[in-house]
Structure 1
């Protein structure tokens, strides 16, 4: 079974090679590729695309060498052996408390771990090329996705600690996924404790005789600059050395032309580092909120992801207002406390204060196009024509130009799509929900669905009886009505295809 996301692409040769590997290696339960990000337009997506294309080959190769047959599964752009997957990868309902109770929200790591427990291997093969996916176009879309992932990853703590016979590598994969989000509140806690310590050092006098004045030997404060320098140097090496190793890797393999040459590559890396520094505190605050919300078991739902819309100024200002207040207040307090502590706070407080304009600028397609014209953030897939990507863009443009039906309109009008949605809808609603659905059904038929509140529209489209009635009534609607006009366009398009 080849597993794809809605934005996935796999070349035919890659799929054939993956199937051949699975046939030759019967112990492999999942064969995972390392997808490359494509089709980025906004500045934010272009930065993610560039970083993925430059850093991922080296990272994925090292990851594959460390994990061997105990790799993680990312849920798409992979091949699964169906029989063991069906036999061993059923997701249990957690039996703990809070978020550790009920269905598991993030499935892919769990399925890899369960296959490993059953004696099968999970392979990550970075040498399998022509595997692609797309990136969220804005920071806010990424953070919305991370809010769901954080809850799912935190749920894995129950499996990591209490599931029997899991391989050690998969337990560490669970831990790594948890720390991807738990590290943010730990960083925030570090900043809070550092502020408290700075207040104590500034306000409280130093006690040279903690054991009492009768002691003739004072306890002098100790300054260990070697410890501080070691911490800074090791942190900088951990953050930046892999980036420059990736540049060396590109130079060694003579692939500079794909990134626009050495100086443009170096400039792009420096730009990516600057943006990463600006985004790190914003992500820290957002992930901390996500972790706290998850621990409080705030209800979340899996919704469709934005791939086209830009972030507006009003939306950005409202979303990042708490960060602006927190960052500004912290820096103002630091200034009154000590000028050196104020300077120390700026790398965190300034990005929080600039979060709204940063988010808006990064979300703009015009910003991404401007960077591209200057030769920044280029990738080999952009500079070399690739038949797979050309075909995919052509098919997408053709599909968008043929019939301008939204997914909701397709689910209502097209018989096969309507049947699929009725099958996936499950049982019909009862009681108060049924009354709401009946009211919204009449409104949807008479005026269309665009004015219906999102939650009520979801109820309507998740009810099989409502979908059936909506399909029939939409096709019999007057020609000048909302649905009548869409039926007319659909029929004319079908007639045009028959004439061809």
Structure 2
């Protein structure tokens, strides 16, 4: 039997076992709920509760059994069918490399911080002795001229510092179409045939040189693999929120990623970054057409990664997740507000996948299930909210209305007596909690068995960290439920979204927290008060959801505090292995990002006009746009800018001027001839003072 056929047989068997466990457990739990309900599913209300419960329970059970699969696979010494196990380290070391592009798509990111991360990746590849096989492409979609002018200068300085001229490239698209996928597609149209593979990074991505080189060699030995995805671990968390996310990702993903890889095998998902892709089939098969539907299901695909993996699989290529690679990192949003802002975009993108999942022909079943899992990550929240609403209605009916002995069409000579089984209800609640929390304790057992508890601060501190993470996750779950429910509704109504750069450092203020969390706080307080008026037991039952909503604002504020995160780190809580045994890549990234760089009193735009070397650089990257009526428009913009300064122009006008070679030259010459009391005269005085200081 061929290798390809063998792994497919194994994958189908594993997926069948998973489905048997999930649906079998869900069936048993649903049966228990049926008999917990007073009328045993005899009313429309109870049927609605049963349906929602079954969907949510099955989705939670998938995560539970994925973790169990991961535990068993690790207990057996790893997955012998993974592509990493197919090749010895000696064979990989003797595998020749092919030309590989490292892509960094950016959009209004902190320039110094982002390019310092790329610099660390470059240096780490350099340490492997294989740098000649790699090219680096900074792909900008930034619209603000103050941002992209700074990007161009930073790129030029970076290339000179690293000796990377002819190896590190910069490209800014003049037209921002189709988000990140459009940016990568623009690269492929221009330079796709230069390289065999491309490694795609995010602005916060870091990957060790050894991992990148190893990925290229694996792709060389596996010509049937179209995408090889690593499992990125979160690092550099400073705030309490970021450190909680970092710890949970690093510790629990050992089981979840192993289990997921064992179930998906060669039909894995692609997460859009920290992965290597085979360029030729990607260009041929993974182009994204606009969705032909209506509303949210029409227009460009926002979340491209899952779709590209599905198209690669449809073309006959394999997509693998390989947790054993290691050396792959990203960063967490520092605050709850930033995570939820990101989720608002992801919710719309994932819901679009419903159209692809149902309407796109030829996709593999595993990829359709990956779409469904991504959709459920957000749809689960309104389903949970709906379940709570139906439960509240049921409680209100039982308290405020007389008992119905012939409910909803029940006919016959004998009444339907309502029954209560509190012991069954308790057992059902405990089984649901076990699905949610048992994998976390299973991860502790795994850490003890494989003897890496010391990497997380020792067994006692590891246990305390897990308990702290559980408490925080319980506090955040209702807040996320309320936010995601709103995002799903907004997405279905096709509310337009803006794609903006992410916050990397700022803490959440009390004002911001109160404004953003007030609707949920009011909802939680109102629901809790209503529950109290109905029944004491129902009020107590509502508290695990209502109380976190009421406390949402202080939770968001305190979780954003860097001081709390660092205080726990000093006590060796929420530690990850990378903090115990620092790596050269991560140390470089921290050092480069913290290194002082010249803070000018002039804006990047003013520097582009006044500094001769900057002006020449921007001219070299600009084009001649003075055709037809554009010449008169540009001349008018230049004249106004020289007379009144950049504030006289809109951002769009300033961007057009900065993209035109002749306009840049005219501005430079005119600004240096300006009178001392003009805008440009004062700017020259500030530049002179700054030059003397340095």
TM bracket (short chain): 0.7 to 0.9
Query: Could you say what secondary structure the match of 2:325 adopts?
Result: coil
Instruction: Calculate the aligned-residue CA RMSD, in Å.
Output: 3.5
The partner residue of 1:359 within 556, 564, 572 is 556
Cα deviation code 1:141-176 (max 9, x no counterpart):
000000000000000111000100000010001111
Range moving further from structure 2, 114-123 or 413-422: 413-422
Question: Aligned-pair distance for 1:395?
Answer: 2.1
Q: Residue 250 and residue 225 in structure 1: after superposition, are their counterparts in 2 closer, same or farther (change >3 A)?
A: same
Q: Does 1:261 align with 2:453?
A: no
Structure 2 residue aligned with 1:57:
254
2:556 is the counterpart of 1:347: no
Does 2:322 align with 1:144? no
Q: Is 1:204 matched with 2:401?
A: yes
Q: State the shift of 1:229 in Å.
A: 3.7
Q: Classify 1:307/1:163 alpha carbon distance in 2 versus 1 (closer, same or farther; 3 Å).
A: same
CA-CA distance at 1:342 after TM superposition: 1.0
CA distance in 2 between partners of 1:213 and 1:73 (Å): 51
In 2: Cα distance, 1:334 partner to 1:265 partner:
37
Pair 228,277 (structure 1): closer, same or farther in 2 beyond 3 Å: same
Residue equivalent to 1:180: 377
After superposition, give the CA deviation of every residue in 1:264-296 in whole Å (9 maximum; x if it has no partner). Answer: 100000000000000011101110111011001
Distance in 2 (alpha carbons) for counterparts of 1:180 and 1:427: 50
Q: Give the distance between the partners of 2:485 and 2:238, measured in 1 at CA.
A: 29
Choose 1 or 2 for highest CA Rg. Answer: 2
Match of 1:195 in 2: 392
**434, 441, 447: which is aligned to 1:250?**
447
Q: Normalized against structure 1, the TM-score is what?
A: 0.87
The equivalent of 2:516 in structure 1 is: 319
Aligned residue number for residue 401 of structure 1: 597
> 1:338 — aligned with what?
535
1:26/1:396 Cα in 2 relative to 1: closer, same or farther (>3 Å)?
A: same
Unaligned runs of 5+ residues in structure 1 are none
Give the Cα–Cα distance (whole angstroms) in 2 for the partners of residues 323 and 289 of structure 1: 10
What runs of 5+ residues in structure 2 fail to find an aligned partner? 1-197
On the 8 A contact 1:95/1:102 being kept in 2, the answer is yes
Q: Distance in 2 between matches of 1:186 and 1:65?
A: 29
- Give the corresponding residue for 1:171: 368
The residue aligned with 2:468 is: 271
Is residue 45–residue 136 contact of structure 1 (8 Å, CA) maintained in 2? yes
Q: Aligned pair in 2 of structure 1 residues 406, 394: CA closer, same or farther (>3 Å)? A: farther
What's the secondary structure of 1:29's corresponding residue? strand
Query: In the alignment, what sits opposite 1:464?
Result: 656
Distance 2:201 2:639 in 1: 34
Query: 1:379 — aligned with what?
Result: 576
Give the drift of 1:252. 1.2
Q: Quick check: 1:96 aligned with 2:288?
A: no
Counterpart-to-counterpart distance in 2, 1:212 and 1:60: 49
- Measured in 1, the distance between the counterparts of 2:278 and 2:324 equals 20
1:44, distance to aligned residue in structure 2 (A) = 0.2
Asked if structure 1 preserves the Cα contact closer than 8 Å seen for 2:637 and 2:653, the reply is no
Report the TM-score when normalising by structure 2.
0.64
Name the residue aligned to 1:283.
Answer: 480
Q: How does 1:119-130 map to 2 (within 5 A)?
A: 119-130=316-327
Correspondence 1:223-238 to 2 at 5 A: 223-225=420-422, 227-238=424-435
- What aligned pairs does 1:35-50 form with structure 2 within 5 A after superposition? 35-50=232-247
